[in-house]
Chains A and B, each alone.
Chain A
Amino acid sequence: MEDSSLRYAFGNVLCFFILLLIGLLAFSIRLFSVIKYESVIHEFDPYFNYRVTQFLTKNGIYDFWNWFDDRTWYPLGRVIGGTVYPGLTLTAGTLWWILNSLNIPLSVETVCVFTAPIFSAFAAWATYYLTKEVKGTGAGLAAAALLAMVPSYISRSVAGSYDNEAVAIFALIFTFYLYVKTLNTGSLFYATLNAIAYFYMVCSWGGYTFIINLIPMHALLCIVTGRYSSQLYIAYCPLVVLGTLLAALVPVVGFNAVLTSEHFASFLVFIIIHVVALAYYIKGILSPKMFKVAVTLVVSVGLVVCCAVVAVLVALVASSPTKGWSGRSLSLLDPTYASKYIPIIASVSEHQPPTWPSYFMDINVLAFLVPAGIVACFLPLSDASSFVILYIVTSVYFSGVMVRLMLVLAPAACIMSGIALSEAFTVFTRSIKFQFPGISQSHQIDAGDTSSEPSGDVIQNVVKTDKIDEPVKEWPSRRNKKKEKENVEKTSKPSIKSKIEKRLMVLPLETSIISLCLLVLLGAFYVIHCVWAAAEAYSAPSIVLTSHTPGGLHVFDDFREAYAWLSHNTDVDDKVASWWDYGYQTTAMANRTVIVDNNTWNNTHIATVGTAMSSPEKAAWEIFNSLDVKYVLVVFGGLVGYPSDDINKFLWMVRIGGGVFPHIKEPDYLRDGQYRIDSEATPTMLNCLMYKLSYYRFVETDGGKGFDRVRRTEIGKKYFKLTHFEEVFTTHHWMVRIYKLKSPRNRIRSKTKKSKSKSSSSTNLKRSGTRKKNPWH
């Protein structure tokens, strides 16, 4: 007895230290970019979040909530309080405030950079708790260790990647943990916590719709497979009511929480679960004969009412053109939807379907362990394990639609793999233990073995041998646990039976030793791959680039150079136009008003900029002038071989522009269906603004040839002058080029065609040099 409690205590302490180490591992594996480059914010979206956090820390929460941003989407502006998911910024702001009130003077940037690694440690711990609820402590530790390192999660949560997913994945796993805990215990306290965790998730990420559709799906699955219990009711219904209210509190979601189709599943299952609960209750208080009568009566009457209600609902939903779903959700359900109707969503590289190698790159060895985990979840099947199975199936489907959603697959894969690894280890170590001849009373080892893990295993064994049909879910009070342990040790019959069962599941000694070694080797491969991926593949801040030349490490800091130039050499109120990718960075670092940025909420505005980039110089000048633009910024990678420059993105500008302004036609820019910029390119392509701004004076760099290192050809039009723009700055490696709009001439030479325009038809565009043309008329 004392031996078992000592083992139990030792196991707990060991578990605590392992968890601490896992947290440290999760934190430190994400620090490669800070070590290799510097503590800087990466990519594009994090710059917006950083700017919002700066505003929050400077002005306080009330101003943040009511902030109307006029430095972006000129001249429309953007209501930040109502269109941003506040969870991330509020979390970082709170962290900064706590640290500063403790007199630890960390800057906002440092807090923002390190928020993601801290929350990934929390996410690993949350995975431990979730898997512990499903299978047990061993599986929990394995899953937590796997999640701390999985490359897919690292890619979105390195130090510096200050984006919504950094916090949202932790919130996701934590919400799932609380749901499963409520399901297992039936406690209303955990149901309340579940709703609050769901609120945190809604605050953090648009992916919360995954939760509010997965949980109803699981409830429905439990009902349909006959596993309805009152614990399911307690886990589900308060979450729906409280969760909908809390979701409606967040300004971004607002009334969408009750009006859009993404939430209808939860309401539908809410109604269904009440009907089922009522049916079970009446079944409980009536005699079977009477219950049959009740059923026939209700079915005949209720069917008619049901059909009427369903017809009304269907008519309501079908009357809206998108059936009430938002564009992003529709593109998830029908992967071809975005490319047909919404080119903006289709153009984002994160929204493309993943390739097969990216699965191996992102979850590596887990891809093999997941099927084993699914099988292990079926023996035995409980509500919690059916939930995890549903989670992985749906997340695999969605990850196949969008690369970005591989991030949602990662925790599910880690949980499944943790379960598989833990079960495999259990079987092998048990085989080794039983094969050793020195161990006398095996059923004592049983009790000692199983008591070092929490009660789940013990109850499982008792249940397996005694009650086969109905696994009764006991309220796990402490008295119960101790009683079960005593039962196992007193009566030898169940333990002998379990001993016999375990004997049957024992493998030969050599096989199990070799398999153990192989499993450890597998884990080693996984670790090596994860560390490599974290160090090489996912730590690039993409605002600073490096290359290894024979002369050493060469750093390309052109982006920050250009933004610094803008912030020092232009007026505060000058507007800068560029493609939407660079909007967030320009507002955050250069502190200038931009026309379009990464939020991409207004397709027409983006199409205007795209049209301007695709038009000849004069037309582009007109468009930009009507938007009060002073400077145009293009990114050009031809000199150094930087492949993500604007010329490579140019076809998307044409497509998006052409979607709104029909005079821009994509075939005009392609020669025989091929996109070229060399001498075989179409004249429309060679005359468009993007070409001219990218390649202006490019021939001066390599003595007349003009060889573009990215496209690997010489450019088509080499010597030309700009008539409406003038170059004001080009960075050191020619990666960012800034042009200024030339002011219109004071005096117009005699170029007006007044006499001819009277006789021409009114559909011709009338151009007089003095009038600015408004592209919206």
Chain B
Amino acid sequence: MGKSSATSKDAQALFHSLRSAYAATPTNLKIIDLYVMFAVATALIQVVYVAIVGSFPFNSFLSGVLSCVGTAVLAVCLRIQVNKENKEFKDLPPERAFADFVLCNLVLHLVIMNFLG
């Protein structure tokens, strides 16, 4: 009984500290995080849809889910490269990171369009 209240107090403390630490991140990174959340949510919605309706044009399902996951991954890569706290990337200009991101997205979406059927 005491243990569970201790763990719930710990959980609350943890939650608060996470929240405060996250609030300290710069706004541009938060925007990227929002984009990642959106992409993952879209992927989840698609998976639930397929679970309900069935996966007949499987290539469409695959390309839809993988496009969401792909943009999420690429956005995370962009976030890594743009984040000022990462020591390995402090010499990389953010414009170059964004250009790489756009190029990779172009290739990804070209493939998606081809595979969508």
Contact = CB atoms under 8 A, between A and B. Distances in A.
A188 B100 contact: yes
B6 to A, nearest CB: 10
A290 B66 CA distance: 35
A716 interface: no
A709 B67 CA distance: 64
A187 interface: yes
Given A248-B59, A293-B10, A192 B21 contact: no
Nearest to B106: A192
Majority SS at the chain A contact face: helix
B88 A473 contact: yes
Nearest to B99: A189
16 contacts: A188-B104, A189-B103, A195-B107, A230-B89, A238-B70, A241-B69, A242-B111, A245-B66, A245-B112, A246-B111, A248-B62, A255-B58, A255-B59, A282-B18, A290-B18, A293-B14
Name the 5 nearest CB pairs between A and B, nearest first. Answer: A188-B100, A285-B21, A475-B91, A241-B70, A230-B80
Interface string A187-207: 111011001100000000000
Contacts of A477: 91
Given A237-B77, A290-B13, A475 B115 contact: no
B47 interface: no
> What size tier do the contact residues of chain A reach?
35 or more
A506 interface: no
A258 interface: yes
Nearest to B100: A188
A297 B12 CA distance: 11
Given A241-B73, A246-B111, A293-B14, 10 more contacts: A188-B74, A192-B104, A230-B80, A238-B74, A238-B77, A242-B108, A244-B66, A245-B63, A290-B18, A475-B89
Contacts of B32: none
Contacts of A293: 10-11, 13-14
A710 B89 CA distance: 69
A234 B103 contact: no
Interface in B8-40: 10-11, 13-14, 17-18, 21-22, 24-25
A535 interface: no
Interface residues of B, number: 44
Nearest to A239: B73
A191 B104 contact: yes
Q: Count chain B CB atoms within 10 A of each CB in A229, A237, A480 and give the residue with the most.
A: A237
A197 to B, nearest CB: 12
Contacts, number: 113
Given A255-B58, A286-B17, A297-B14, A188 B88 contact: no
A245 B70 contact: yes
Nearest to A300: B7
A368 B111 CA distance: 45
Contacts of B90: 475
B88 A242 contact: no
Contact of B88 (A196, A231, A245, A282): A231
Majority SS at the chain B contact face: helix
A186 B88 contact: yes
B5 interface: no
Interface string A223-243: 000000111011001100110
Nearest to A294: B14
Contacts of B111: 242, 245-246, 249
B115 A248 contact: yes
Interface string B80-104: 1100011111111000010011011
Contacts of B74: 188, 238
A285 B22 CA distance: 7
A472 interface: yes
Contacts of B97: 188
B107 A196 contact: yes
A284 B86 CA distance: 11
Contact of A297 (B7, B24, B66, B115): B7
Nearest to B10: A293
A762 interface: no
B40 to A, nearest CB: 11
B1 to A, nearest CB: 17
Contact of B21 (A244, A255, A286): A286
Q: Count chain A CB atoms within 10 A of each CB in B24, B81, B101, B103 and give the residue with the most.
A: B81
Given A186-B81, A188-B74, A286-B21, A241 B88 contact: no
B115 A474 contact: no
B41 to A, nearest CB: 16
B59 A188 contact: no
Nearest to B89: A475
A723 interface: no
B104 A230 contact: no
Interface in A446-477: 472-475, 477
Contacts of A284: 85
B107 A188 contact: no
B56 to A, nearest CB: 13
A287 interface: yes
Given A188-B74, A241-B69, A245-B70, A287 B62 contact: no
B63 to A, nearest CB: 7
Nearest to B97: A188
A186 B89 contact: yes
Contacts of B59: 248, 255
B115 A249 contact: yes
A229 B112 CA distance: 29
Nearest to A229: B88
Contacts of A192: 100, 103-104, 107
Nearest to B21: A285
Interface in A258-297: 258, 277, 282, 284-287, 290, 293-294, 297
B104 A238 contact: yes
A242 B80 contact: no
Contacts of A233: 76-77, 80
A735 B115 CA distance: 50
Contacts of B11: 293, 297
A249 B73 CA distance: 20
A237 B100 contact: no
A295 B66 CA distance: 30
